[in-house]
């Protein structure tokens, strides 16, 4: 009887915290949406462009950082438009060494003066994400799934900025983004698209 009672309490608490987290993710003041577009499969993973949209009407973000936990033992071979803050233990790799072997990589933006061959469109704004603007970077992920069935979304995604605290929801597998080629003659689509929505929680 007692254990049934405590099970019910636990269930109640769990459903209550779910309510809070979904509620927290809709805000009248807008959100940050981070979109992962997987563009190519590679022999050991994929190439993705990650774009953060600041849909907040008022709030500018100085110095964003993003971090997540890989659910396999993913590594980041290389990046354009951003970099990881640490490399971690890549000792199992010989010759070609990944940029990061950290289980929970943290990514920061690059400066506007970054050499062009390390940039992509919408990158390199020193981490400043103005209202209504977007920031993007590209990464090549290895030791990862390289098919729709085996690629795994990032877990525990976090979006942070100095003096601003955000809460992010889970990664969601959504309808793949469609792109129109520059000559508008062809529509292509991402292989997979994952969206994460984050809302401002409080100033710190
Ligand atoms: C985030 O904001 C955009 C733009 O206002 C909106 O279209 C989208 O539905 C919002 N996402 C969530 C999960 O509320
Ligand atoms: C995913 O995010 C992008 C960018 O905000 C948005 O255009 C798209 O509609 C979102 N997809 C879903 C299913 O929410």
- State whether the beta carbon of 197 lies less than 6 angstroms from ligand 1: yes
Tell me the C-alpha distance between 204 and 200, whole Å: 11
pLDDT in tens, 25-49: 677 889 999 999 999 999 999 999 9
What are the tens digits of pLDDT across the range 9-19? Answer: 555 555 545 44
Average pLDDT, whole number, for the chain?
91
Using the predicted structure, report yes or no on whether residue 202 has a pLDDT greater than 80.
yes
Q: Whose CA is nearest to atom 1 of ligand 2?
A: 195
Whether 126 lines ligand 1, by a CB cut-off of 6 Å, is no
* pTM score: 0.88
30 lines ligand 1 (CB under 6 A): yes
Radius of gyration for the chain, computed over Cα atoms and rounded to the nearest angstrom: 19
Pocket test for ligand 2, best of 25, 38, 50, 195 (most atoms within 8 A of CB): 195
**Cα–Cα nearest to 76, from 13, 4, 139:** 139
CB 47 within 8 A of CB 39: yes
């Amino acid at each position: 009887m007692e254990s049934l009672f405590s099970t019910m309490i636990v269930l109640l608490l769990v459903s209550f915290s779910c309510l809070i987290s979904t509620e927290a993710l809709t805000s009248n003041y807008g959100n940050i949406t981070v979109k992962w577009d997987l563009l190519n499969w590679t022999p050991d993973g994929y190439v993705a462009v990650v774009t953060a949209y600041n849909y907040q009407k008022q709030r500018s973000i100085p110095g964003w950082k993003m971090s997540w936990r890989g659910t396999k033992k993913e590594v980041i071979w290389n990046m354009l438009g951003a970099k990881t803050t640490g490399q971690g233990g890549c000792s199992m790799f010989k010759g070609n060494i990944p940029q990061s072997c950290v289980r929970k990589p943290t990514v920061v933006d690059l400066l506007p003066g970054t050499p062009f061959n390390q940039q992509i469109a919408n990158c390199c704004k020193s981490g400043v994400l103005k209202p209504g603007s977007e920031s993007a970077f590209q990464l090549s992920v290895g030791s990862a799934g390289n098919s729709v069935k085996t690629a795994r979304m990032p877990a525990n995604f976090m979006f942070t900025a100095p003096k601003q605290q955000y809460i992010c929801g889970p990664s969601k597998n959504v309808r793949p983004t469609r792109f129109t080629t520059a000559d508008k003659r062809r529509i292509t689509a991402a292989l997979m698209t994952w969206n994460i929505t984050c809302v401002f929680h409080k100033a710190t």
